[in-house]
Structure 1
Amino acid sequence: MRLSRFFLPTLKEDPKEAQIVSHRLMLRAGMIQQSSAGIYSWLPMGFRVLKNIERIVREEQDRAGALEILMPTLQPADLWRESGRYDDYGKEMLRITDRHERDMLYGPTNEEQVTDIFRSHVKSYKNLPLNLYHIQWKFRDEVRPRFGIMRGREFLMKDAYSFDLDYEGAKTAYNNMFVAYLKTFARLGLKAIPLRAETGPIGGDLSHEFIVLADTGESEVFYHKDLLTLETPEQENYSATELQEIVDQWTSYYAAADDMHDPENCDVSAGDLVSRRGIEVGHIFHFGDKYSKAMGAAVAGPDGKDVTVSMGSYGIGVSRLVGGIIEASHDDDGIIWPESVAPFKVGLINLKSGDDACDAACEDFYGKLKTATVEVLYDDTAGRAGEKFAKMDLIGLPWQATIGPRGVKAGMVEVKNRSTGEKQELSVDAALEFLVGRG
């Protein structure tokens, strides 16, 4: 993509309304624009990152055996009345009446909707276990939306829902999603810590939050220092026993948010206890028959008798992760994207646009990167060198390749690693081979 043809409305100064790093950098890097309080338009740069995160989340859900569907954003209130949550949910739910005076709502979550789908079509235990998920926009009418997309009213979320015949099956489904989340966050370049959590309005008796460590995080997290030395599971299929062993291993180490941490009665020695800031990016729940019993979601068991199914739900804040990654990975100059989610892998800088030799060298290098299917943003504009470098640092592409008059004469390209700042002078062919190997 040529920068001269790309829509990238960057800002040089920090916006006054931005209180946290991710909000400030997303506005400055031309990723989003506020439409109204807590609601944003995603501009091309931000949308590319959002879709990359969505792709990784989807791939790991598919690998875990979940089946993708798509449920509507607007739901009938009657479904929520069946579960008893319509009146209990509070003012965060946006309630709507359509032209036929039917009560509707903009979905903040989908337990009722998916339970209705299940009870309409699944009648036998032979169709279990089943896990259905979708990636859809949600709306919660926050009383004080703030921090950009980190606490907005409209957000993109992956939510999955498992259905099993009994508790043991439901526990295996829960553990399967627990492991899938570990894999997902590792692929996103994040260090995630699972914390035992309250179930809140979702309900149930088992719940974990997944917290991403970031110095600018919203809450303080305490954990055993050895927790982050655990290796992320890589195998695609695990038995129920293996899943339980992995979950037991990760949850055996102390980890607690500040509201759950009791320094006077903590069993972890001061030398082993680490304190960091963190951001919640995922939450999983097992809630048994809370919804299936209220809504009549039962199947014929092996003996022919009806059995109310046991359920769980599993959420990942896809749009929130964009901000979470920035909070965890940035410096004074801007964003530092992990390669797995970067909007482009390489930023190509022409130091002297309009110079025939520089233009020809950059065009050739750009064409070869594209042929090798490396996602590249080519700064072919007439800006000054300092402005180009600052913009590339701001938008945070993992690699920068710079070609100027001296480099053209020497047949060299300067390659910079955005994360480390390390630079190296490479021949054109060596630079191409190096970047293709990482693209």
Structure 2
Amino acid sequence: MSKLVGRRIKEDPKDAKTVSHKFLVRGGYVRPVSAGIYSLLPLGKRIVEKIEAIIREEMNRIEGQEVLMPVVLPADLWKESGRYESVGAELLRFRDRNDKPMILAMTHEEGIVHLVRTELNSYKQLPVMLYQIQTKYRDEARPRAGLIRVREFTMKDAYSFHTDQADLEKYYYRCHEAYERIFRRVGMKNVLSIEANSGMMGGKVSHEFMAICDCGEDTVITNADYSYRANREIAVAAWKFDKGEPLPLEKVSTPGTKTIEEVANFLGVKPEETGKAVFYQDARTGELIFVLIRGDFEVNEVKLANAVKVPELKFADDSAIEAAGAVPGFASPVGIDGRKVRIVIDRSAAETGNLVVGANEADFHYRNFNFDRDMAGTECIVTDIACVREGDPCPLTGQPLIFSRGIEVGNIFQLGTKYTESMHCDYLDRDGKSHPMIMGCYGIGVGRAMAAVIEQSCDEYGPIWPMSIAPYQVELCAINPDKAGVGEACEKLYADLTAAGIEVLYDDRGEKAGSMFSDADLIGIPLRLVVSPKTLADNAVEFKVRGSRDAEKLEISSAVAAVAARVEAEMAQYR
């Protein structure tokens, strides 16, 4: 340890809000270089290499073949797929010295399709899965939480190619099982696979793997027995709405009442008896999108974007709203031309009767809006675009939905032909006819996985690493190494443990016991052996498991065999 690069730090970093960020910096695993960009120190590199080894084993187990693609790609590939224009500022674009447009890859769908179309062209060569463990760069606007949200990161990304959807689905669930094994083997205690939105990746079916912990930036929605799992972007609930007997539409004066709360208070109704108008625009074309949702719900913008097939939405400005014939603060879909404005009605507003909605006139609202009657013949979309709320009824069991926090540590997608069709990655079938290959995509963030393990496995003193990915398996501490033969005894133990194939970090610095043990807790190695003049007087060493308060004595002559057996037993849990 006197030679180990990476000092321990007593104080938490000022910008650290999560335990993994604090301990990774304090323990000497990583060092910040810039916002969202980190160097790995030797301890961190050893952990990452072990995580990568587990990932490789599991990818090879399902017939994956490892490749390595460049981080820098020509923009032409992303233009072929259409993502060069559709992805926002998180894609780092630049020009090389020859003025050729280039990108730093944040993901490698385009790169792998380019590779596969040069190497495979027959149904006889499919299915195939290729994977890499490679650096990515995402120009994240707000890096946070240490390695959980960064700009530069290492990722395992895998891509499978198939002749038909049934074959993709079969392989997709093999990969799903492999992911479950990976997260168990790296020592995550609670990881849920949940239904997810495919987002910019495309495709119809996707799952996210969420490590459940308080610091997670994603919301995981489940029922009590976990039979229903979804993220907030796509979660649904078994809402029941009441249309009742429709009452006559009535225009009423509501001076100065623009918000749902103001209208409800003025008219003496509940928010769930009102309809809320929300306006968006297509960020690319400027097209206006008029949303009506019940006043006690919020718009789920991912559901909305999927419903109107718009990749990026922005809130509309008043001039666009007024140009459509609506009045900001008093807007209503009644009388709006659905051919000029895209109107989207949430189920809550379409299926609840006698709502209070705007009247498209300043200081006036309508009472008793009923969608079926008052918008008959109006062109619009009726669908679920509402955010699920905690306690809403589960769509499977009817029981209250539960909200948890999670870190996304992996994701898998059934991409279909989104990339192969646009980039002409085709195969010839038995009859010599050409078809686009069908793709799946499978990703794991390596550094994020390391951080997630800490979030689920730590105490107030530092990480408690699982044996499978610990930087070392045993820490050997010498107290007063220059006295009573302690140094000599430790050197022999170190040599014997190493010869037995055990990874040992030997603290030979001669620090005081308190400082030495504090550093040991920050490093978080699973097993600890302590040698001191007192233990040697009993011809013994002190043995302690990280995270346990109790220690025991082992005879020095049998310590190596006892520790080796303990290491083997713990490693067996992660195979």
TM-score (norm 2): 0.70
Which residue among 386, 406, 411 is the counterpart of 2:514? Answer: 386
Which residue of structure 1 lines up, in the alignment, with residue 212 of structure 2? Answer: 213
Count of matched residue positions in the alignment of Structure 1 and Structure 2: 412
Q: 1:396 to 1:274 in 2, by over 3 A?
A: farther
Q: Deviations over 1:90-119 (max 9, x none)?
A: 100111211111111110000011001111
Where does structure 2 lack aligned partners over 5 or more consecutive residues?
236-387, 568-575
CA contact (8 A) 2:392 2:400 kept: no
Give the match's secondary structure for 2:113: helix
Q: Deviations over 1:290-326 (max 9, x none)?
A: 0000011111112221121100110000111111111
Q: CA deviation at 1:148?
A: 1.2
Give the match's secondary structure for 1:75: strand
Give the match's secondary structure for 2:68: coil
Structure-2 separation of matches of 1:189 and 1:89: 34
Give the match's secondary structure for 2:57: helix
Structure-2 separation of matches of 1:410 and 1:55: 41
Please show how residues 324-403 of structure 1 align to structure 2 within 5 Å.
Answer: 324-403=452-531
Which residue of structure 1 lines up, in the alignment, with residue 283 of structure 2? Answer: none
Q: CA deviation at 1:129?
A: 0.3
Structure with higher Rg: it is 2
Q: 1:269 to 1:304 in 2, by over 3 A?
A: closer
Which residue of structure 1 lines up, in the alignment, with residue 166 of structure 2? Answer: 168
Where does structure 1 lack aligned partners over 5 or more consecutive residues?
228-252
The reply on whether 1:110 has 2:84 as its aligned counterpart is: no
Please show how residues 37-436 of structure 1 align to structure 2 within 5 Å.
Answer: 37-190=35-188, 191-224=190-223, 226-227=225-226, 253-258=227-232, 260=235, 261-262=388-389, 263-267=391-395, 276-436=404-564
What do you get for the CA RMSD once the two structures are aligned? 1.7
Structure-2 separation of matches of 1:172 and 1:8: 46
Residue 229 of structure 2 aligns with an amino acid whose one-letter code is A
Q: CA deviation at 1:274?
A: 6.0
Structure-1 separation of matches of 2:473 and 2:439: 40
Structure-2 separation of matches of 1:94 and 1:270: 45
Give the match's secondary structure for 2:131: strand
Q: CA deviation at 1:222?
A: 3.7
Q: CA deviation at 1:223?
A: 3.2
Q: CA deviation at 1:428?
A: 1.5
Q: CA deviation at 1:265?
A: 2.1
CA contact (8 A) 1:215 1:328 kept: no
Higher helix share: 1
Q: CA deviation at 1:205?
A: 0.1
Structure-1 separation of matches of 2:196 and 2:433: 35
Q: CA deviation at 1:268?
A: 6.6
Residue 203 of structure 2 aligns with an amino acid whose one-letter code is G
CA contact (8 A) 1:345 1:376 kept: yes
CA contact (8 A) 1:217 1:327 kept: no
Residue 432 of structure 2 aligns with an amino acid whose one-letter code is G
Higher alpha-carbon deviation: 277-286 or 211-220: 211-220
Structure-1 separation of matches of 2:225 and 2:180: 16
Structure-1 separation of matches of 2:77 and 2:203: 19
Give the match's secondary structure for 1:315: strand
Q: CA deviation at 1:287?
A: 1.3
Q: 1:421 to 1:125 in 2, by over 3 A?
A: farther
Q: CA deviation at 1:413?
A: 1.1
Give the match's secondary structure for 2:143: coil
Q: Deviations over 1:41-81 (max 9, x none)?
A: 11111111111111111111111111100000100100110
Q: CA deviation at 1:382?
A: 1.8
